[in-house]
Amino acid sequence: MEAADGEIEALCSIWEGVHVESPTPSERILKLKIKSLEDETTSASVVVEMIVKEGYPLIPPQVTISNPRGIGEPEFHELRRKIDRIIEENSDEMPIICEIFQECSDYLTENQHVNMDCSICLLSLSSSPIIVTSCDHFMHSMCFCRYLTVCLEEFRKEIREAQPYMKEKVDTNIVCPVCRESLTEENTIQNYNANIQKMIKETKQKQKTLRNKKRRASTTTEDVQNTMKRWHEEQRRLAKIYEKQKEKGGIIDIEEDKKRREFFIETGTAVVEEEEDPVI
Ligand SMILES: [Zn+2]
Ligand SMILES: [Zn+2]
């Protein structure tokens, strides 16, 4: 797992919050919610999960992407295809973990909010101000406020019609209209009215208008891209040296090989650290 671990180390120095698990000595599971580079509440994101097994990079990683937020359905499928292409086209078996994470981030930055419809009214999200829920679902703020008002009326009706001993048991919490995740937790029949009115008010205050156009990749993307490009060039160069050495008689000095690997890991990490300042 040496090749994979070296690259995972570099990955963790570029991306914050990568969750790495080692269920067995010959398997690594990486998980990260990747966001587009504009750090706003409306940033698009996907969850990337990667299983890397012994034999990588000869054995390609298994990549799953899920929970698309802030990107349309066609773009999500396109991203999936782009990842598949990176894996398919990697015939020279180069490390591709970092490349895949980078591709996701670049793609989200370039394609977020394009062709996205409101989950409630199904009209384009760019047509009027939007709101992003705590579960990262995007909808028009007007549609969401209308949804809250409908919920409020339904709760009132339900409480009115409930048997006296059942009134307290009426669930007055608001759930996301898309994924049903709870958006309130402490609503009771005493406070639900005030809480929901407050949510409506806050929704109107927090609403944002999407700039529904393709955005140019930011300088940060370019920095990371350059770092990754150098990382790949270095890997290709070392791979060539290794091939030449093998051709020369196939004698591989284990100590020399180990040293080279250490150099390779250090080089990779050093380049990344060097780039950290300008990124910030
Ligand atoms: Zn809508
Ligand atoms: Zn949701």
Each residue's pLDDT tens digit, 51-94: 999 989 889 999 999 999 999 888 999 999 999 999 998 877 88
- Domain ranges for the chain: 2-115+213-279, 127-206
Q: Which ligand is nearest to the CA of 137?
A: 2
Using CB atoms within 10 A of its CB, is residue 121 exposed (0-12), middle (13-18) or buried (19+)?
middle
Q: What's the gap in Å between 117 CA and the centre of ligand 1?
A: 8
67 DSSP assignment: E
Of the candidates 100, 125, 118, the one whose C-alpha atom is nearest the C-alpha of residue 209 is 125
The chain-wide mean pLDDT, for the chain, equals 83
Q: What is the pLDDT of residue 179?
A: 93
DSSP class of residue 166 equals G
Looking at the CA of 179, name the nearest ligand.
2
CA of 59 to the centre of ligand 1 (A): 45
Interatomic CA distance for residues 150 and 152, integer angstroms:
5
Contacting residues for 20 by C-beta, under 8 A, at least 6 apart? 8, 12, 28, 29, 30
Pairing status of strand 138-140 against strand 130-132 = antiparallel
Query: Which ligand is located closest to the Cα atom of residue 143?
Result: 1
Angle at 232 between CA 247 and CA 25, to 5 degrees: 80
**Ligand sitting nearest the alpha carbon of 139:** 1
Rounded to the nearest whole angstrom, what is the distance from the C-alpha of residue 149 to the centroid of ligand 1? Answer: 14
Q: Give backbone dihedrals phi and psi of 122, rounded to 5 degrees, phi first.
A: 65, 15
Beta strands in 77-162 (DSSP E): 130-132, 138-140
DSSP 53: E
110 CA → ligand 2 middle, Å: 23
Distances (CA, A) of 189 to 160, 162, 173, 183, 200: 11, 12, 10, 16, 18
Q: Determine the Cα–Cα distance for residues 21 and 31; give it in Å rounded to an integer.
A: 9
Task: Report the separation in Å between the CA atom of 134 and the middle of ligand 2, taken as the mean of its atom positions.
Answer: 7
Segments of the chain scoring below 70 in pLDDT: 39, 212-231, 234, 236-238, 240-280
Contact (Cβ atoms closer than 8 angstroms) between residue 131 and residue 183? no
**Mapping DSSP to helix (H, G, I), strand (E, B) and coil, where does residue 27 land?**
strand
How far is the centre of ligand 1, averaged over its atoms, from the C-alpha of 192 (Å)?
24
The bound ligand whose nearest atom lies closest to the alpha carbon of 123 is 1
- Residue 35, φ and ψ in degrees, nearest 5: -110, 160
CA of 154 from ligand 2 middle (Å) equals 20
How many angstroms is it from 174 CA to the middle of ligand 1? 18
As a whole number of angstroms, the distance between CA 107 and CA 228 comes to 16
Ligand 2 center–CA 172 separation, angstroms: 17
Q: Are 94 and 228 in contact (CB under 8 A)?
A: no
Report domain 2-115+213-279's class.
alpha beta
Instruction: Give the C-alpha separation, 225 to 9, whole Å.
Output: 17
- In this prediction, residue 108 carries a pLDDT of 93
